[in-house]
Structure 1
Amino acid sequence: MWSPHGIHQDVWGSVKPSYNRWKYSLIIAIDANFRLKLKNRGFKDSPLGDGWSYFVPSIPYKAHVAQHIEQPEISNCDSTFRAIDHANTRSNEGLAATGVAGVTCARHAINRANGFGDLQRGERFCNMDYVVLSTLSGTNVKKLILSYDIACQWFKNFRLRISAYPEKMQLNMDEVETDAGIPKLHCKGHGPKCQTCWSFNFIKGSARTCGESIEQIWSGHNAVSMSTREMTPGSRQNTIDDHLGAWNFRKVIGLGKYLLSLLQEAVPMKAKHRAILSELRLSLDGDLVDTWEAMIEEWDKDRENKPDPYAEEDKTCGMADVRLEILKEEAADAVAGTASLHEMTASVFLTTGLDLEDQQRVLRKKGKGAKGASTQYKSAEMQQKRNTLQRRIFNWYKIQNIYMPGAVFLRAEVSPTDDDHSGAQGPETIQLLFPSQVSEAERATICSPGLVVKEFRLRVAQCDDALHQIRRLLRIRSNLWHYKRGQVFGQRSSTRARTLIARFDERIQRIAERYRAARAALISLGQPGDWSTRFLELTPGDIQGPRGDDEAILQPPAPLPQNHWISEGRRDFTWIWLSPNVQLQGDAETERREVNEGMRVKYCKARARAMRWEEEVELVVEEMRRTIAFLEWQARWWRSQIGRRTDLSSPSLESGLIAYALKQSDIKMRLAQHFSNLWRPALHKHNLPNEFTHIVGSQPVSQAPAGHVVEVTAVDTDSGASDDDEPVFE
């Protein structure tokens, strides 16, 4: 068996300083596999050594499950995973076991002793609780982190459910610090609250643990499911135990390259994200950063009730807000005796023009799409839309002549063949001539007072609205892609799904054009403000979903690899997800608060990324030390078994047992030496602790008890190599 985690109570108390104790946490992953079924063929047999290996003891396990047949388990999480909801509806006709529940080490994907058990009726809490408590029984652990795809529901009443188990299986929850998270890939299917409260990216002391290790084990054992489902219960359990043991052996001998790869990735990522965080801190107010740090500390202690530092309240200050504010100002002007030039106020005149601008964009898009079919473009429906838009524009011109005297002459210069009646140009190509579309000198002479400022405010709101809508549509499109990947099958259904997603792509592109036009207007108006730093140039590469794993990015600058995925720990958001929604009007305190809220989320996530990578470096080094220490202990343990059997009458049998023990001891020492040689250069290069890699050579095999002839053949660690180029031991 392999024990990469766990620490004795006396050792735990001696760890100084106390904040280093997180390195001795036990992190386990929990899940169920519904492919490892067993048909009910009426055979009754018992496995060899029931409960001695990876499966829990059958008799007490079945007795416990039988007491919780009607256990209510209803989920109120807005997750797309329905393990709980479907537990009581999953078909179990003709099956003795509907699957297998398992518990593994979340860091190294190593199976735990007594951490597996058959499922009788779906993935119920009573099954999962039993296998978790069975594998933890007798473990001197002080901090426990559990990974489960429905942890947000399963962990809520975990402490209460423990009380129903035998005392020897119960955990002392007053002494054991417990935490839980949702595996990173599964977390994407949960709601916004779960994606922060239960994310391993924000769990202190979890390092870069993804929590998905048990999925690797299931994928490695699914191939055997077709044969084990036809076996008798005892034979099936023995077979799965053998495969779980073989998996563990390969994982142990592969720890050398695995831990080295983790270290080689973590060291540069730690430096990168620490530099990003330092640069961000220098640009922020120190007192504000201290406030956010205190907020994170409080949230770490109570994630359920304290304010979430990683979540931003969905506040927008869009067109509707600015229109209402300007209308209130115009109403106040009317009360004060300042009469409007027309019954249609200036703000209504401008917002009507912005609506016409949007209609022009829609019509131009339809016109481009119809160039290959001129008859469609000249159809009655299309012509009717063009005529309607043209009438609206000409009516708008009449109001423009009041608020922008002289605009009629500018229109004649821009398009001499077009006037208020001829419509020689297509209405989708006519320039409306907003104040932003004329020169600064012309604005000073033809625009009524305050018109330029009002357009500026509306354009800022238009940019804010456009960014908000782009983000919202990208979220929807990302969810649609994920739904299509996992739930849509067949050509007909796939075509419909693609058509729906294409509609969202068109809307996103149209809104992106609106943003670019509004930003160009702001540049032309040249009014002071922070808009120039908030509203950056929107390139096709900036229009990416929040997950960074959409199947198609709008006009990507370069082809993306298949199954492209950017995790939270490596994420570098495009600027549209970092641009805060700032309220330009209103009291200064409200404006400052909303800006700070957007920066808080950015800072907190950057801090979390930096801390997780720092923890990863420390934890990997500790795991290397722990691996060497365990292998050395195991080598000594095998040698200590020599001479324990005093009931042997055959000298040859006694010599064989001694030879076996010496061989196993030699294998462990050679493996420890191999890992040490592999890790020492990298640890020395990065100035990390490496004292534990200097191993004293193993005791020679010839040092056996006197009177015994021992022949041991050990495979040289430098000559034999498996498919993973790791040492092979016989």
Structure 2
Amino acid sequence: MNKELGEHSTDLQRAQVLEKSNRLCRRVKSWFVQQEVHMPVVHSLWVCNSQGNGPLVPAYSQPLYLPSMVLLHHPCDDIVVRAEAQLCIGQGFNLLHTIRGHLLALAKGYKDADATTLPQKEWLKCHKTTRDLNKRITQAKNYYRDVRQHLMMLSAKTGEYSWQSQLQVLEDSDVRRISDSAVGAFDMEQGMSWIWYAAHLGDVPGGINEYLRIEWCKARTRAHRWREECKLVSADMQRVKRTLDHNANLWLSRAQSGMMGGAFIAAGEGASACAKRQAAIHVAIKSTFQHKWRCVEEWISLGETDESAAVDNENPFV
């Protein structure tokens, strides 16, 4: 019943839709019979809704009057409220799993499209698939927000908010692929969205866990490259300082000996003054560099923590 019947639908398709509608209608009526045992107020609400909308309301449009719908105006049993809360928590994790699966499919589609030159027919097919996946992601995202809103209403009754650490508020910027960084983030500040860290259902070969391992390896490689570059910068700074000290001492020794490049200079005072001038220039350059680099070592040490070595050797996704 997700696809609407068109004017070209066959009689068999119409019969199948009618059969599914009748089956769903019977299930809804059976649900109302069971619901009246724990929520007697539902009977009056159902009668009022049937009289107001008439008998032609399709089964998939019938309100189920769950506790989250009637809790604000009618009291409900705590057992029923907790049962729906558990149902919403499961739906939330299932929707996050669905969103992640669609994002992985999008990533694979983009990767295949970039790697090969597709003909016109295949490109249109890929474009249609991408559009359908984006539509499904939007539907799952809106459904997740509704489920979380229901959970907030139910938690006000039960007083349990432990689920908020996993089922967080879903913003549009949170729905992104693993390899996509947040808006405005630098290369070393790349971070996956929280939806990839949330608890998820079982994995399949080539699924979420494999992609998380790949991203962990990429992040570890970036961290190692960053440390190596920091060590190279520190080594170059020390090399420049030692070179300037060596040149300054060399010019001072020449000034004291009165020798320039191994040749005796008759005008010793002029040569000595020139050598001292060169030594002073090298000392001034070193002082300037020391002033500009005074915070570099501290900045480099900010990225070195006691836990960095443990992180290098542990893969949380194994």
Residue 473 of structure 1, CA deviation? 2.4
Instruction: Give the Cα–Cα distance (whole angstroms) in 2 for the partners of residues 536 and 377 of structure 1.
Output: 43
Instruction: Give the Cα–Cα distance (whole angstroms) in 2 for the partners of residues 377 and 430 of structure 1.
Output: 26
Residue 454 of structure 1, CA deviation? 2.5
**1:580: which partner in 2?**
199
Shift of the 546–688 alpha-carbon distance from structure 1 to 2, 3 Å rule, reads: closer
Amino acid at match of 2:171: T
TM-score by length of 1: 0.28
TM-score by length of 2: 0.58
For the pair 1:500 / 2:129, whether they are aligned, the reply is: yes
**2:168: which partner in 1?**
536
Aligned pair partner of 1:525 in 154, 176, 198: 154
Q: Deviations over 1:488-539 (max 9, x none)?
A: 3443332222222223223323332332232222222223141123212222
**1:682: which partner in 2?**
292
Alignment map for 1:460-539 (pairs within 5 Å) = 460-526=89-155, 527=158, 528-539=160-171
Q: Deviations over 1:397-443 (max 9, x none)?
A: 32223222142421344464336xx22x4555432222322225635
Amino acid at match of 1:394: C
Instruction: Give the Cα–Cα distance (whole angstroms) in 2 for the partners of residues 385 and 537 of structure 1.
Output: 39
Looking at secondary structure, tell me which structure has more strand per residue: 1
**2:253: which partner in 1?**
none
**1:454: which partner in 2?**
83
Structure 2 unmatched ranges of 5 or more: 202-215, 251-260, 263-281, 300-318
Instruction: Give the Cα–Cα distance (whole angstroms) in 2 for the partners of residues 384 and 565 of structure 1.
Output: 54
Residue 457 of structure 1, CA deviation? 1.7
Aligned pair partner of 2:35 in 383, 401, 404: 404
**2:304: which partner in 1?**
none
Instruction: Give the Cα–Cα distance (whole angstroms) in 2 for the partners of residues 485 and 565 of structure 1.
Output: 24
Instruction: Give the Cα–Cα distance (whole angstroms) in 1 for the partners of residues 86 and 110 of structure 2.
Output: 36
Shift of the 539–428 alpha-carbon distance from structure 1 to 2, 3 Å rule, reads: farther
Amino acid at match of 2:25: F
Instruction: Give the Cα–Cα distance (whole angstroms) in 2 for the partners of residues 548 and 525 of structure 1.
Output: 34
Looking at secondary structure, tell me which structure has more helix per residue: 2
For the pair 1:442 / 2:74, whether they are aligned, the reply is: yes
Amino acid at match of 2:111: H
**2:25: which partner in 1?**
394
**Over aligned residues, Cα RMSD in angstroms?**
4.7
Amino acid at match of 1:466: L
Instruction: Give the Cα–Cα distance (whole angstroms) in 1 for the partners of residues 47 and 290 of structure 2.
Output: 80
Instruction: Give the Cα–Cα distance (whole angstroms) in 2 for the partners of residues 546 and 469 of structure 1.
Output: 15
Shift of the 606–483 alpha-carbon distance from structure 1 to 2, 3 Å rule, reads: closer
Instruction: Give the Cα–Cα distance (whole angstroms) in 2 for the partners of residues 490 and 628 of structure 1.
Output: 60
- Other structure's SS at 1:432 match: coil
Q: Deviations over 1:657-710 (max 9, x none)?
A: xxxxxxxxxxxxxxx99x979955531354669xxxxxxxxxxxxxxxxxxxxx
Residue 485 of structure 1, CA deviation? 1.0
Structure 1 unmatched ranges of 5 or more: 1-358, 368-374, 550-555, 583-602, 637-641, 644-671, 690-730
The answer as to whether partners of 2:21 and 2:59 remain within 8 angstroms in 1 is yes
Shift of the 439–451 alpha-carbon distance from structure 1 to 2, 3 Å rule, reads: closer
Q: Deviations over 1:2-39 (max 9, x none)?
A: xxxxxxxxxxxxxxxxxxxxxxxxxxxxxxxxxxxxxx
Instruction: Give the Cα–Cα distance (whole angstroms) in 1 for the partners of residues 238 and 218 of structure 2.
Output: 30
Amino acid at match of 1:501: T
The answer as to whether partners of 1:466 and 1:511 remain within 8 angstroms in 2 is yes
Instruction: Give the Cα–Cα distance (whole angstroms) in 2 for the partners of residues 622 and 387 of structure 1.
Output: 77
Q: Deviations over 1:448-494 (max 9, x none)?
A: x8433332222211111221222232123212212211223443332
Instruction: Give the Cα–Cα distance (whole angstroms) in 2 for the partners of residues 535 and 461 of structure 1.
Output: 10
Shift of the 687–629 alpha-carbon distance from structure 1 to 2, 3 Å rule, reads: closer
Shift of the 609–490 alpha-carbon distance from structure 1 to 2, 3 Å rule, reads: closer
- Other structure's SS at 2:294 match: helix
- Other structure's SS at 2:199 match: coil
Amino acid at match of 1:436: S
Residue 543 of structure 1, CA deviation? 0.7
The answer as to whether partners of 2:234 and 2:297 remain within 8 angstroms in 1 is no
Shift of the 565–440 alpha-carbon distance from structure 1 to 2, 3 Å rule, reads: closer
Amino acid at match of 2:195: I
Instruction: Give the Cα–Cα distance (whole angstroms) in 2 for the partners of residues 377 and 426 of structure 1.
Output: 20
How many residues are matched? 246
Instruction: Give the Cα–Cα distance (whole angstroms) in 1 for the partners of residues 84 and 51 of structure 2.
Output: 26
Q: Deviations over 1:526-582 (max 9, x none)?
A: 231411232122222211011107xxxxxx9xxx8xxx9974x32133221232359
Instruction: Give the Cα–Cα distance (whole angstroms) in 2 for the partners of residues 681 and 441 of structure 1.
Output: 70
Instruction: Give the Cα–Cα distance (whole angstroms) in 2 for the partners of residues 680 and 432 of structure 1.
Output: 73
**2:189: which partner in 1?**
570
Instruction: Give the Cα–Cα distance (whole angstroms) in 2 for the partners of residues 388 and 576 of structure 1.
Output: 38
